Structure 1
Amino acid sequence: MPTLLRVPVATVLVIVSTVLHVTPLLLIAIVKACLPVAFIRRGCNVLLMAIAASWIAVNSALIHVLTRVRFAVDIDASLRRDGHYLVLANHQSWVDIPVLQAIFNRRIPLLRFFLKSQLFWVPLLGLAWWALDFPFMKRYSKETLAKHPELAGRDIEATRRACEKFRHIPVSVMNFVEGTRLTAEKYRKQESPFLNLLRPKAGGVAFVLNALGDALHSILDVTIVYPEGHSTLKDLFTDRISEVRVHVRELPIPVEIATGNYETDPAAREKAQAWINELWLQKDVRIAAMRMGVGG
């Protein structure tokens, strides 16, 4: 299909799929909220997950049909649809999200991201994320916290509340550990010690492990590489990405971090930072190997 046709066709089909899936999502979510009876909520959850899986499957099929991108995926993990996972990944592009959804859909529970509170107002998608129990986080700048110190810790409390809900359902908690997408400008500004990555942030990982550690089965460490360099969603649907390489490995829950208190204990904070930095050193080496076509 010519590029001039592919992009508008893809846009229309994605919008149609979104409307067709979000509409029943919202109706079921309203029933779930209005009738807080245990068996009704369980039934609604099953329907919500089925619709979400269908939505992701359609979007993945559109990528397969409208582009020639090849997913080279190496999975060294035992995946369960009823599992409880913390999924950690490097973050380079918005393409990362459909890639992750495509490789994990119907293999592990729905990936749930911690979202900025402003994203709730994204038309249709914000309500869909709310219906699917994606946690919304309100981040405060250092300047705001200096003026209003009473706001400190609210994002942490929101993390705890979300994690408490996740204890009772199969879940895959998704964390882009760098906290933002990799760009040359961010890389220079951070003076990153890694060749292929931004500095990792241990706090979010530590909070989730502390809140959910005993309920999690394992960690899925995901490495995503675009051999042709930085790639965007526009690149994807204009067929400028020929291959995406993904490596997945399963790691045990680090007990010393799951049982520590990152917020108040300096020793626990140091252990968490050392663990995530070692993980990132290994990932940095793996990315270099994957770019050369060597297995993870």
Structure 2
Amino acid sequence: MSTLKGIVSILLLIITTLGWGIPLIALTLVKLITPGRRLRRLVLRGLNAVALNWIGTNLWWMRHWLKPRLDIRLPEGLSRNQWWLVLSNHRSWTDIFMLFFALHRRIPMPHFFVKRQLIWVPIVGLAFWAMEFPMLRRLSREQRERHPKLARRDREATERMCRHARERPIAIYNFVEGTRFTPAKHRAQGSPYRHLLSPRAGGIAQVIKLLGDRLSGIIDVTLSYENPSPSFWDFLCGREGAVTLEARRLPVPDWMLEGDYHDDPDYKERFHSWLNALWQEKDAALDSH
């Protein structure tokens, strides 16, 4: 029965994606031929509305069909008219919809750092490109050292997003570990945390440098699954265990606005210390679950 439920869930996800994909493709074509950034901003508003309705439609049927057991704890003072940086640990593709359940229409349209390969996913990849999500290569440290031009292109993609983000409130979501947690990745990485992979600081440091004066705060999200090995398929089958989502609002420290992560070693070390301390607190919170 649960497998059948999963198949129906996939069909519902495909139907909603195809349905909202029609106005998405139409607006993308309009954007391609629209001259001037000011007019393209109007088209981008339409694209954002399509994306928000796609999210809302999926949350509606998931809430009634899958009935996820989700315990949400949010801070006060969230607004759709402000800029936010959302940081979260990463366990499963399910995380994305858990964040949507908690934050949809409470803060602005979400923008993710996404892997460049996702550009080839039908409709979804087009949406990422049309809505100006930064498409990154997710290079390892060794790859960045061997191919500095590729690393520079990733930074340029983030710069474009942040430059455009100053035009309207957005929420930038970042799974700071860079990939989903698995025991194998945890062992291979030699992570110092029990429940987390080591965080990557470069992306969020760049966002704060370029957009820090706009940010109303950092939303630090900790996701905890009752199931030790959560999967998106189990979620679609309605057999995922209870999920706890705890979010807290953090201020952007003044010192973060005054340095350069890539050119100032002292600033870089201080940023890493701040992020590692945040991850230690998150690891301790996951211990309590």
- If the TM-score is normalised by the length of the shorter chain, which range does it land in? over 0.9
Deviation per CA, 1:5-52, whole angstroms, max 9, x where unpaired? 212211111111001112101211222332235664343233222221
The 8 Å contact of residues 114 and 174 in structure 1, kept in 2 or not, is answered as: yes
Deviation per CA, 1:112-141, whole angstroms, max 9, x where unpaired? 111122211111110111122212123456
Q: Which residue of 2 aligns with 1:173?
A: 172
| C-alpha distance in 1 between matches for 2:145 and 2:263 | 19
* Structure 1, unaligned runs of 5 or more: 292-296
Equivalence map 1:124-139=2 (5 Å): 124-139=123-138
Q: Which residue of 1 aligns with 2:110?
A: 111
The 8 Å contact of residues 56 and 101 in structure 1, kept in 2 or not, is answered as: yes
* Structure 2, unaligned runs of 5 or more: none
Q: Which residue of 2 aligns with 1:10?
A: 9
Match for 2:264: what amino acid?
A: D
Q: Which residue of 2 aligns with 1:102?
A: 101
Equivalence map 1:143-158=2 (5 Å): 149-158=148-157
The 8 Å contact of residues 77 and 248 in structure 1, kept in 2 or not, is answered as: no
Identity score, percent: 39
| C-alpha distance in 2 between matches for 1:136 and 1:151 | 12
| C-alpha distance in 2 between matches for 1:197 and 1:253 | 23
Over 3 Å counting, the alpha-carbon distance change for 1:152 and 1:4 in structure 2 is closer
| C-alpha distance in 2 between matches for 1:238 and 1:193 | 34
Deviation at 1:143, TM superposition (A): 6.6
The 8 Å contact of residues 225 and 244 in structure 2, kept in 1 or not, is answered as: yes
Deviation per CA, 1:127-165, whole angstroms, max 9, x where unpaired? 111122212123456676666554452211221122111
> Are positions 1:46 and 2:45 aligned together?
yes
Q: Which residue of 2 aligns with 1:215?
A: 214
> Are positions 1:120 and 2:119 aligned together?
yes
Q: Which residue of 2 aligns with 1:64?
A: 63
> Are positions 1:269 and 2:273 aligned together?
no
Match for 1:218: what amino acid?
A: G
Q: Which residue of 2 aligns with 1:85?
A: 84
Match for 2:196: what amino acid?
A: L
Deviation per CA, 1:161-196, whole angstroms, max 9, x where unpaired? 221111111111111111111100111112222121
| C-alpha distance in 1 between matches for 2:68 and 2:145 | 47
SS of 2:168's partner is coil
SS of 1:109's partner is coil
Deviation at 1:222, TM superposition (A): 0.5
Over 3 Å counting, the alpha-carbon distance change for 1:25 and 1:141 in structure 2 is same
Aligned length: 289
Deviation at 1:255, TM superposition (A): 2.1
Deviation per CA, 1:244-286, whole angstroms, max 9, x where unpaired? 1000111111221232111011100011001001111111111
TM-score, normalized by length of structure 1? 0.91
SS of 2:106's partner is coil
What value does the CA root-mean-square deviation take over the aligned residues? 1.9
Over 3 Å counting, the alpha-carbon distance change for 1:126 and 1:286 in structure 2 is same
> Are positions 1:234 and 2:233 aligned together?
yes
Over 3 Å counting, the alpha-carbon distance change for 1:206 and 1:39 in structure 2 is closer
SS of 1:223's partner is strand
| C-alpha distance in 1 between matches for 2:107 and 2:117 | 28
The 8 Å contact of residues 221 and 249 in structure 1, kept in 2 or not, is answered as: yes
Match for 1:249: what amino acid?
A: R
> Are positions 1:164 and 2:172 aligned together?
no
| C-alpha distance in 2 between matches for 1:12 and 1:107 | 28
SS of 2:249's partner is strand
Match for 2:216: what amino acid?
A: H
Q: Which stretch shows the higher mean deviation, 77-86 or 36-45?
A: 36-45
